[in-house]
Structure 1
Amino acid sequence: MAEQQVPSVSAALAVVEELVAGGVVEAVVSPGSRSAPLAYALEAAERGGLLRLHVRIDERSAAWTALGLARATGRAVVVVTTSGTAVANLHPAVLEADAAHVPLVVVSADRPAALVDTGANQTTRQVGMFAEAVRSSARMDAASPDALRAAVRRLLVAATGVRTGTPGPVHLNLELADPLVPAQPLAAVERVPAGWQVSRPEHPPAPLPADAGTVVLVGDADPATGAAARALAERGRVPLLSEPSGNARVGECAVAGYRLLLPGPLGQRITRVLCLGHPTLSRPVSRLLARHDVEVVVVGGGDRWPDPGHRVSRVLGAVELEPGPEGWLQEWLTADRELGARLAAELAARDGLTGPGLAAEVATSLRADDVWLLGSSSTVRDADLAPVWRSTGPQVHANRGLAGIDGTVSTAVGLALGTGRGVTALLGDLTWLHDANGLLIGPGEPRPDVRFVVANDRGGAIFATLEQGRDELAGSFERLFATPHRVDLAALAAAHGVVHRPVGSVAELRELLSRRIRGLELVEVRLDRSGRRELDERIRALA
């Protein structure tokens, strides 16, 4: 082929072909000179129908979009950048992918090693930039396409976790020398080398009796793990305590208000926790997992399992839970029904919508084929009080690996593009503003359908419920923690061509939520956070 005379393009084609052979079908790229060979190769593969390419101006948004695509599909997604500060902009998403076990493949273009530390333009030390956040990394040049292909295979094995059971990010740093463009336009890449496969042995489920005192606890988890947790609890007839993004707040064993019940008498009678996913959301759960009188058994989790309380005694690939006494489950369900009624009455007695009330309205509007993304801070905790779904629930996601607010808009876009469905994203105003560049999508790019339901209380309500919100610290609270702003969300939405829909009542909200999601839209719900601390205290007292 004519392009073989350009080593940088040959190397880029080898990388892209091997990624496709390993199952990659989505890639995100940002513009740059050093990464030009990779951009040309990806575009040629897209023209050949082998993958879908997404272009983003902002590398930070590109990485979070790729993370959203990987969350949606469960497959490794590639994000490509040029050299220099561009690579550093991927770091927040790489950290989240590491903690949340999301298969993200970073391919960074670099200058030849001889130029590092010489002051050459746009040259920095890219090797090791992500340190221990990546499962594996490789530093390669364009000298041997065969060596490149082998490196890509190793990296994909690490990213997908097929040997360890723990997916995560990997980093290929590719040194590319001039010339960086093909001698002539590349032909469409329509075929790649034969695929390859690596697998790991499956272990039979371990039998375990479901004694009174056993609960199934689900942290942040993908839909498959959530479904497995639900089946486990229902087979054993034990309470199912799931965070909103655990994809297990559904079924006859699910307990909606578990967070409020854990500090009480029922919670104190727990003797064994079967833990799935990554639980991080609430302090009552953290205290439960640190108790010395509770056996903590991790189910699944690969080679990286959660143990924040340092109490895990067993890590099992799978469990077969033998049915336990029905009375234990019924006590939890009865307490949950009574608590739910009191919570509904408390929220109904207040003027206007509250954070928990908004989350409940959004939750109850969603169906089995919907996709829900939750922002960090208050919104995901408000969703943790929403009613559970009794038969089927939506697919739920949240960036709970490190629980940051960054990248949420771009993650929602990636989820919508990856699932091919409309996504409802519930988030706060600061979270939406923090990643407003995620709305910056070029006119020729695939268009997502995302409804951003933004709880706009003009600041951060989460700190009002924490120690910083105590009355005696009120003097510095607004400036240092609430961080109020004067941004006109409607004007910012209009600047990006996003439809703005203000909401003034519960009836208006319900009507908007009933509509089909088309394109990008902002549903702005104004909330008053002045009484947030008092509301939180009253809700905790309900149990």
Structure 2
Amino acid sequence: MKQNETLTKHISLILNGLLLQGLTTAVIAPGSRSTPFALALAQLAREQKIQLFVDVDERSAAFFALGIAKKTNKPVLIVCTSGTAAANFYPAVCEAAISHVPLLVLTTDRPPELTKVAAPQALDQDHFFGNQAKDFFELPLPEINQDSQDYTNYVVQKSFQIAQSNPAGPVHLNQPLRKPLMPELPIKFNQDQQKYATLPNTPVLPTNLITELHASLQKKRGIILAGPNQRTTSNTAMLEWAKKSGWPILADPLSQLRGLPSLNVITCYDSLLKTKSDKLTELIPEVIIRTGQTFVAASLALFLKESHATIYSLDEGNKLNDYTKTATFSLDISSESFFNQLPPVSVHGEWLHKWSTLEKTYTSINKIDPTSTLNELDVVRVISATKNKERNLFVSNSMPIRDVDSVFQPSTFLRVFCNRGANGIDGVVSTALGISTKATDSLLLIGDLAFFHDMNGLMMAKKYHLKIKIIVINNNGGGIFSFLPQAGSPGFEDVFGTPLDIDIEQVARLYHAQYSLVTTVTNLKEHLSTPAHTLEIIEVRTNRKNNVDLRQELVDRFARQIAKEL
């Protein structure tokens, strides 16, 4: 068999195996060594078997794929050439690993005889992403050997299953290839290729454990602490259990619970804990059930430690992901399975009423001041008032997600996303654009530094005519550092404030975006009243120091209202 025939069959095995497992989307960062995969994927896209995106910036490409996978909860294939191209995937792989997003990372490589001998564009790509990859497989060179072909088919299908099995994560496939790199076109895909299937595994709690858990929770002051969670369907059982048991749910903005019509959902906890009110002694729980990933509010960490409560952590995959180190018991089970199996417990007096009363009090003061200049908290409040249930909100790290945590009380449910695994500001634009490919209405809230960090990502919006509204909070620097102890220190502005004086309008013009400078609440409401019809960049100019004062003023006002009413 000719070499290019062997190559063609090998590429066919890999991609057809992924199609058999359900692959629907791929992102390519072009390069020479990945030629056969690029041509084969282009063919599959023409045949409408997959959706294909091409991004010349590897870092942007990986985050773009991450966004698609976040939205769909299905593995997305990302492909690059050899050398430093793969290194640019690293930040997105880290984010996928910690936030449990399914990615299939296919790096092409020099053959063995060209590695570790200083050949051009060659790095040691064995286990290249280290512990950040959920698993790693070195694929064999294309061979006519049937055992090798069977192994290749098995491994690529297994990699897809590993990537999407809970907890999901990135799986790295490294594929060495020799020249010539041109496959025979069009590539033929074997309709009889063996498919490997798996059956879902739902953990079942032993009867005696359910009995013990139920008894330990009866008539207790209990709280459900719901952390970030991308699977919206998993909240139904929790909400029903909390309603019948009279337990409040402290809902992180990424829990996909805010905006749901439930008296159990509490959003005021961050500001409440910062008030240091005497009323907090009445709110100390005896039992806490933790779900989801690491919460946004740092105030909750101290709350957990000082409560001395019995804490049950629903830790699917048994990762022991608890930086507070407060969990009394860790259960390897999903929130959905846990609350479906555990019977509701008896209501503890006025416990829920105390929390819901505080929530109503906070809602009454968490209002827009129509006489004030548009500020960073009011931007979030305007977003909260949206009536579009189809809207997907992506929030950047640093100050935007913290502002959302504090004042985001949506009138209707909005799906909220954020890269809260590694909590970086790199790749935010690209991730949001990836989500927009699978959404009818997308909105990104981002600061000027994070926007600058990933401006290259805007090219994908221009290239693929993506529809998204991007609100850029331009306070000319790193706003979050104004809340830290180093604020005001000599040299602070140079090494932490880092003003860049970005001309957002010029950036918008570069990427053919519609630009608006918004200065009033009314104007912002008008801009957000309809879905995006193109790439729209909305600039809101603010003052960094003012945001510090605004947040403290909100906490102080809440404290005064608690003292007055309760």
TM-score (norm 1): 0.92
1:436 is matched with 455
2:429 is matched with 409
**Is the Cα–Cα contact under 8 Å of residues 154 and 196 in structure 2 kept in the other structure?**
no
Instruction: Single out whichever of 295-304 and 424-433 deviates more from structure 2.
Output: 295-304
Tell me the distance in 1 between the aligned counterparts of 2:365 and 2:70: 36
Tell me the distance in 1 between the aligned counterparts of 2:72 and 2:508: 28
1:161-216 deviation line (CA, Å, top 9, x unaligned)? 2xxx2110110000111111124x32475957354321343234645336442111
1:79 matched to 2:102? The reply is no
Code of the residue aligned with 2:174 in structure 1: it is: N
Code of the residue aligned with 2:392 in structure 1: it is: V
CA gap of 1:280–1:145, structure 2 versus 1, over 3 A, is: same
**Is the Cα–Cα contact under 8 Å of residues 69 and 77 in structure 1 kept in the other structure?**
yes
Query: Could you list the runs of 5+ residues in structure 2 that have no partner in the other structure?
Result: 560-566
Q: 2:538 aligns with which of 509, 523, 531?
A: 523
Tell me the distance in 1 between the aligned counterparts of 2:6 and 2:190: 20
Q: 1:238 aligns with which of 247, 252, 267?
A: 247
**Is the Cα–Cα contact under 8 Å of residues 9 and 182 in structure 1 kept in the other structure?**
yes
**Is the Cα–Cα contact under 8 Å of residues 110 and 176 in structure 2 kept in the other structure?**
yes
2:402 is matched with 381
**Is the Cα–Cα contact under 8 Å of residues 380 and 408 in structure 2 kept in the other structure?**
no
Question: Following TM superposition, by how much is the alpha carbon of 1:359 offset from its aligned partner in structure 2, in angstroms?
Answer: 0.7
2:439 is matched with 420
1:177 matched to 2:188? The reply is no
User: Counterparts in 2 of 1:454-473, with a 5 A limit?
Assistant: 454-469=472-487, 471=488, 473=489
1:259 is matched with 270
User: Counterparts in 2 of 1:200-211, with a 5 A limit?
Assistant: 200-204=200-204, 206=210, 208=214, 209=217, 211=219
1:352 is matched with 373
CA gap of 1:273–1:122, structure 2 versus 1, over 3 A, is: same
Code of the residue aligned with 1:175 in structure 2: it is: P
Question: Following TM superposition, by how much is the alpha carbon of 1:313 offset from its aligned partner in structure 2, in angstroms?
Answer: 2.4
Query: Could you list the runs of 5+ residues in structure 1 that have no partner in the other structure?
Result: none
Tell me the distance in 1 between the aligned counterparts of 2:305 and 2:188: 56
1:315-367 deviation line (CA, Å, top 9, x unaligned)? 332132424225111101111221232343xx528731221111111122153
**Is the Cα–Cα contact under 8 Å of residues 55 and 61 in structure 2 kept in the other structure?**
yes
**Is the Cα–Cα contact under 8 Å of residues 63 and 90 in structure 1 kept in the other structure?**
yes
1:146 is matched with 150
CA gap of 1:257–1:37, structure 2 versus 1, over 3 A, is: same
CA gap of 1:230–1:533, structure 2 versus 1, over 3 A, is: same
Tell me the distance in 2 between the aligned counterparts of 1:210 and 1:413: 46
TM-score (norm 2): 0.88
1:324 matched to 2:351? The reply is no
Give the SS at the match of 2:172. Answer: strand
User: Counterparts in 2 of 1:475-494, with a 5 A limit?
Assistant: 475-494=490-509
User: Counterparts in 2 of 1:46-195, with a 5 A limit?
Assistant: 46-141=45-140, 142-143=142-143, 144-161=148-165, 165-183=166-184, 185-187=185-187, 191=191, 193=193, 195=195
Give the SS at the match of 2:385. Answer: helix
Question: Following TM superposition, by how much is the alpha carbon of 1:82 offset from its aligned partner in structure 2, in angstroms?
Answer: 0.4
Give the SS at the match of 2:363. Answer: helix
Instruction: Single out whichever of 485-494 and 296-305 deviates more from structure 2.
Output: 296-305
1:202-256 deviation line (CA, Å, top 9, x unaligned)? 2346453364421111221112344444344323221111111111123221112
2:362 is matched with 339
**Is the Cα–Cα contact under 8 Å of residues 370 and 521 in structure 2 kept in the other structure?**
no
Tell me the distance in 2 between the aligned counterparts of 1:505 and 1:442: 27
Tell me the distance in 2 between the aligned counterparts of 1:367 and 1:247: 15
Code of the residue aligned with 2:539 in structure 1: it is: E
Give the SS at the match of 2:390. Answer: coil
1:451 matched to 2:466? The reply is no
Give the SS at the match of 1:159. Answer: helix
Tell me the distance in 1 between the aligned counterparts of 2:346 and 2:130: 45
Give the SS at the match of 1:245. Answer: coil
Question: Following TM superposition, by how much is the alpha carbon of 1:447 offset from its aligned partner in structure 2, in angstroms?
Answer: 3.3
Question: Following TM superposition, by how much is the alpha carbon of 1:433 offset from its aligned partner in structure 2, in angstroms?
Answer: 1.2
Question: Following TM superposition, by how much is the alpha carbon of 1:275 offset from its aligned partner in structure 2, in angstroms?
Answer: 1.1
1:382-409 deviation line (CA, Å, top 9, x unaligned)? 111224346x501111110111111111
Question: Following TM superposition, by how much is the alpha carbon of 1:108 offset from its aligned partner in structure 2, in angstroms?
Answer: 0.1
Question: Following TM superposition, by how much is the alpha carbon of 1:292 offset from its aligned partner in structure 2, in angstroms?
Answer: 6.5
Question: Following TM superposition, by how much is the alpha carbon of 1:291 offset from its aligned partner in structure 2, in angstroms?
Answer: 3.9
Tell me the distance in 2 between the aligned counterparts of 1:84 and 1:412: 27
1:19 is matched with 18
CA gap of 1:389–1:3, structure 2 versus 1, over 3 A, is: farther
**Is the Cα–Cα contact under 8 Å of residues 433 and 461 in structure 2 kept in the other structure?**
no
Instruction: Single out whichever of 37-46 and 284-293 deviates more from structure 2.
Output: 284-293
Percent pairwise identity:
28
Code of the residue aligned with 1:430 in structure 2: it is: L
Give the SS at the match of 1:289. Answer: helix
Give the SS at the match of 1:530. Answer: helix
Give the SS at the match of 1:312. Answer: coil
Question: Following TM superposition, by how much is the alpha carbon of 1:480 offset from its aligned partner in structure 2, in angstroms?
Answer: 1.2
Q: 2:513 aligns with which of 477, 498, 508?
A: 498
Give the SS at the match of 1:6. Answer: helix
Tell me the distance in 1 between the aligned counterparts of 2:113 and 2:304: 51
**Is the Cα–Cα contact under 8 Å of residues 289 and 308 in structure 1 kept in the other structure?**
no
Tell me the distance in 1 between the aligned counterparts of 2:427 and 2:303: 30
